[in-house]
Amino acid sequence: MTNKERYKQAFSVLHTSDDFSLEVEKMAIMSRKNRIKTAVAAIIGFFALTLCTGGAYAANVGGIQRTIQLWVNGDQTTATLDVDETQGSYSVSYTTASGEEKVISGGGISVDMFGNERPVSEEEIMDHLDMPEVTYNEDGTVYVYYREQAIDITDSFDDNGICYTHVKSGDKEFFMTIKYNGGYGIDTVKYPNPKNFN
Amino acid sequence: MRPSLQELVDKYRNNLYAVAFNVCKNAEDAEDVVQDTFIQYYSTGKQFETEQHVRAWLIRVAINKAKNINSSFWRKNKVSLEEYMETLIFETKESAELFETVMKLPEKYRIAIHLFYYEDYTTSEIADILKISVSNVKVRLSRGRSLLKETLKEEWEYDE
């Protein structure tokens, strides 16, 4: 038996679970499925946030629903935010200008410097929803959206597929490093080093 | 060309799952990666030159997404690799040993090894997928093989 045959035999045990399904009809609804993955973003800011929100989290357990103003691709729209702080999950539903119902959902666990985990709080989710976002459009263009701003960065990637851009709105300012078709890092002080994220 | 999503799901879901698992070592995360990769395919509307081009694109996107999960500060800790391995039914004891040894390799060697031995990619194709030089791929493969040989001994042959 060759190494390739051995390897393939060993890894042939890996397959998606039986309930894995990806119905094409559901894709439109899921096209803005978001996950909280700000990670590479502002770690310093995160620790500060963890300390600030600890008390609030303990006193505030269960589902929360509220109406929020959400920026979607440069346009502000009214949306309904549902948060389950016991699970650290959220969903945001809104109607687009063309009348289409959209749902964004996600969630996350925050880990402090000692490795302790807890579900993310409503405040952290709100902060996450108010972060710049990179979008790859069907026409091949790449945009950074932040609040009312839509920045076309399609031609701003260097030979290594890295783009550095800076967004500012009101009191919020972010430095972004974006890898083409990969991850992106956000920091409030300086451009994240592309070596520090994938 | 642009194959239908369902066709790609049927054909590549397990390949993407294997490559994603290879990176993030977690079944739930790997499944999320597969789903997110297909969602990205669906939402980009990108055209491809050949089927191999589509396959390489899907694998590259899956690897990037899996790496993002790994580097995510918000990463969920779920079932451990050891617990998950207990649910897998390997054909032989040697297969289980090889699987476990590969999963213990550093990530950068593991991905190169997987693309070479499982996906049958050449070093230049791996370089293109990982956006690194061919010589870098060769180094990663060579170091990965040496580490496998060290542990697996006669169960792993010297090769190039």
Residues of A in contact with B9 (CB under 8 A): 22
Q: Which residue of B has its CA nearest to A125?
A: B74
- Architecture per CATH, B1-88: Orthogonal Bundle (1.10)
Q: Which residue of B has its CA nearest to A20?
A: B31
Residue B2, pLDDT above cutoff 50? yes
What fold characterizes domain B90-153? Arc Repressor Mutant, subunit A (1.10.10)
Mean residue pLDDT across chain B: 88
Residues of A in contact with B17 (CB under 8 A): 14-16
Strand ranges for B74-138 from DSSP E: none
Cα–Cα distance, B36 to A61 (Å, whole number): 30
A22-73 pLDDT, tens per residue? 654 455 444 433 333 333 333 323 322 332 222 233 333 457 788 888 887 7
R_g over Cα of chain A:
19
Q: Please give the full DSSP string across A67-108, using - where no structure is assigned.
A: EEEEEETTEEEEEEEEEETTTTEEEEEEE-TTS-EEEEEEE-
Residues of B in contact with A46 (CB under 8 A): 73
Cα–Cα distance, A187 to A42 (Å, whole number): 5
B99-132 pLDDT, tens per residue? 999 999 998 899 999 999 999 999 999 999 998 8
Nearest to B31 among A2, A6, A16 (CB): A16
A152-186 pLDDT, tens per residue? 998 899 888 899 999 988 888 889 999 887 778 88
| CA distance to partner chain B, nearest, from residue A169 (Å) | 25
Domain positions in chain B are: 1-88, 90-153
What sign does the dihedral B142-B143-B144-B147 (CA atoms) show?
positive
ipTM at complex level: 0.92
- Are A13 and B95 within 8 A, CB to CB? yes
Q: Is B94's Cβ below 8 Å from some Cβ in A?
A: yes
Q: Is B92's Cβ below 8 Å from some Cβ in A?
A: yes
Residues of B in contact with A7 (CB under 8 A): 98, 102, 113, 117-118
